[in-house]
Amino acid sequence: MLTSDRRSAPGLPAGGVDESRLDVAADLLALLHETATELRPNTQLEALTLAVAADLPVLLWGEPGIGKTAALTQLAAALDLPLTTVIASVHEPSDFSGLPVVGDDPAVQGVPMAPPDWAVRLVRAGRGLLFLDELSTAPPAVQAALLRLVLERRVGALRLPAGVRIVAAANPRSSAADGWELSPPLANRFVHLQWSYDHEVVVRGLGGTWPWAMLPRLDPQRLAGAVSFARRAVCGFLAARPGLVHRLPNNETRRGGPWPSPRTWEMTLCLIAFATASDVSREVLSMLVRGTVGDGPGLELLASLDRMDLPDPEALLADPATADLPERGDLRQAVLDGVVEAVRQRPEKPRWDAAWTVLVRALETGAPDLVVVPATTLATLRQVDWDLPESIERLAGAVSLTRQADKVAARIAATAGSGR
């Protein structure tokens, strides 16, 4: 038998197991697990930490083996939060809704729903990171039981403390073992982040140094202004686009991702406030907004945020000589169009003259072609008794050259189209 062979083998102790060799193996494993951290830009990690700071449930989507679980382990260690991992797919619905416990007098006392042990540990700790793994392999009945946990933080009769944050992870259905599409009600409760690996991060991490997960630094002096800005941004956008207040996708796969609803717009407002107060990059904010209401509505909102930062047309007309115009072409075009529209709404000679001065300023500080359409429109607003301002002569050359270039381009395109 194998046991007798091991006992008779030379060099082994009487018990047949050399414990010192296991100790050495344990020492080697400990050395392999020793890693350091460093501060380095990492957009998806910044997005994750900001959503965690905002106390919003986050769902990480990514292919198997790219480090979603490892990222959560590092995040919990960096934030000094106890990590509780729950594999959703191996639990029954009652594990989240609570197990009924019959007491002495159920007709009077009722039947309480007892929470699982992991929920009790979180309540005792008062804080922690709850990691719901393999969410896309949980059957629909389990997903339904998770609804109350994710939104209300309740497990049975127990309410998780405010210090507990919820992060989940899922694989796309195509790469999940017996995967299910996420139900629309559950999907609509998460900020969805597409998690991918970064080559440099992986190489540095395998070498022993991972990025440091750090919560965003919120400026106490900007909190009230950040909330006001976020409310104006979301409310103003939805007032102009009422059809986006609630739009359930007609595709089953897209229903399992981010889509706009009053709930996700509230989450978006919260994320904008946190991003504004912490001054994170626009790339991080874009990832979060699109992961909450979807790509289409999210990109529209981001464009609306850009316009909110644009100068007031009335302020430019009041002091046109010192007009500070955006560098980006699309934003500059929007400002110039706004100035012309302001004159259209209240056509007066001084305002008309000031608009021409703004256009000259745009010509001197940016691309000439951006002033062509506003200048043409502004010229049509002239009234019979208005004299031409001197500044208009400085625009004539640029407008004329641009029009000539357009005619040449059109002629070339027509020639190419005719095959000559």
**Average pLDDT of span 228-253:** 91
**Cα–chain-centroid distance for residue 8?**
63
Two structure tokens written together for 123: 């309540």
For residues 323-342, b (16+ Cβ closer than 10 Å) or e, as one string?
bebbeeeebbbbbbebbbeb
What's the rounded Cα separation, in Å, for the pair 364 and 314? Answer: 21
**Cα–chain-centroid distance for residue 347?**
43
Average pLDDT value over all residues in the chain: 83
Q: Are 191 and 58 spatial neighbours (Cβ–Cβ below 8 Å)?
A: yes
- Outline where 279-386 has alpha helix (H): 282-293, 295-308, 313-318, 329-345, 349-365, 372-380
- More confident: 231 or 157: 231
pLDDT tens profile 123-146: 999 999 999 988 888 888 888 889
Residue closest to 135 by CA, chosen among 92, 179, 76, 192: 179
Two structure tokens written together for 107: 């007709």
Pick the range with the lowest mean pLDDT from 21-25, 109-113, 200-204: 109-113
What is the model's pLDDT at position 228? 93
Q: Work out the percent of the chain whose per-residue pLDDT is above 90.
A: 35
What is the model's pLDDT at position 346? 92
C-alpha distances out from residue 368 to 1, 127, 153, 416, Å: 91, 58, 57, 27
**Average pLDDT of span 67-82:** 84
pLDDT tens profile 154-193: 888 789 999 999 999 988 866 655 667 888 999 999 999 9
The model carries a pTM of 0.73
What is the model's pLDDT at position 11? 56
Q: What is the CA radius of gyration of the chain?
A: 31
Residue 107 has pLDDT above 90, yes or no: no
Residue 2 has pLDDT above 50, yes or no: no
What is the model's pLDDT at position 404? 44
Two structure tokens written together for 391: 């500044």
Residue closest to 259 by CA, chosen among 182, 156, 174: 182
Q: Mind giving me the DSSP string for 316-347?
A: HHHSGGG----SSHHHHHHHHHHHHHHHHHS-
C-alpha distances out from residue 214 to 42, 45, 75, 79, 135, Å: 11, 9, 8, 7, 25
